[in-house]
Structure 1
């Protein structure tokens, strides 16, 4: 077996998948709740109140449908990453140890903790990932006015 960090990438990937699934589930529940709210609106003598309630429910459904689509796009991005593969350059799927900390180049899922160590799941489009893109171990880039050293890549 390889280094312990090779075992961390699949765990980080799993946490990212769980993050996306949570977003998908929340959006679907919100869409369902908005639909039920719209369906339960009863036509009152004040027709404007009924129409306003239905319009608000439709807006809520639309907003959550957009968020659901975005979450599904994140899921697609994750499904294209194979965490078991080792990387020699910074690219999607790479676990990168820098002088700034640890980064899993995947999706923007924020801080993840595995075995007490903090990792940051960032998309390839994130400024820090864009600055590091294509670099190899030993490389150095400037990010936010700071020199960043690449210590290791898996």
Structure 2
């Protein structure tokens, strides 16, 4: 692998880490706000309204806790990728940059398209449909995604 692709992978991983850390921060803040709302909510004369409000706040808290758990899992996966960034491989796996005739994919976590230089690179999860199709592929392997034939031309 040329040093250029190592630098691109490093930049992609840094971008994914930053976005994931930002997401964790936003979720934690929303969770704290919901918890504050729950403790600040005082029982009013409209008992049913109070119970409905408390239940809605609890549902928000549960949703934020689940999102926080998932975001922390993503962060841990990204931290594991860092150790394998500069290892060479001829098989698409987590931490690899895969070039197809359609585009460039970095298998890490679901972030979406990132522009590096003149290239749009998709940071995708290995669990996403395209990620599942890419994992295990070698140069020359083909697959179909969204009715589009793709062929792996390089793995970095």
**Where does residue 94 of structure 2 map in the other structure?**
92
- The residue number in structure 2 matching 1:19 is 19
Aligned match for 2:132, one of 118, 130, 133: 130
Deviations 1:70-127 (A, max 9, x none): 1111112212213232332111111011101000011111111122321001111222
The 1-side partners of 2:137 and 2:147 are apart by 18
Distance in 2, matches of 1:125 and 1:25, equals: 24
1:108-119 equivalent positions in 2, closer than 5 A: 108-119=110-121
- Say if 1:108 and 1:122, in contact at 8 Å, map to a contact too: yes
| Structure 2 gap segments, 5+ residues each | none
**CA contact 1:87–1:93 (8 Å) conserved in 2:** no
After TM superposition, the structure 1 stretch with the greater mean CA deviation from structure 2, 53-62 or 133-142, is: 133-142
The number of residue pairs the alignment matches comes to 154
Aligned positions of 1:67-82 closer than 5 A: 67-81=67-81, 82=84
Indicate conservation of the 8 Å contact 1:10/1:84, yes or no. Answer: no
TM-score w.r.t. the length of structure 2 is 0.89
Q: Aligned to 1:39, what secondary structure does the other structure show?
A: helix
CA-based RMSD of the aligned residues comes to 1.8
**Matched residues in 2 for 1:60 and 1:121: separation?**
28
Query: Any unmatched runs of 5+ in structure 1?
Result: none
SS at match of 1:104: strand
Say which SS state the counterpart of residue 112 (structure 1) adopts.
strand
Divergent runs of 4+, >6 A: none
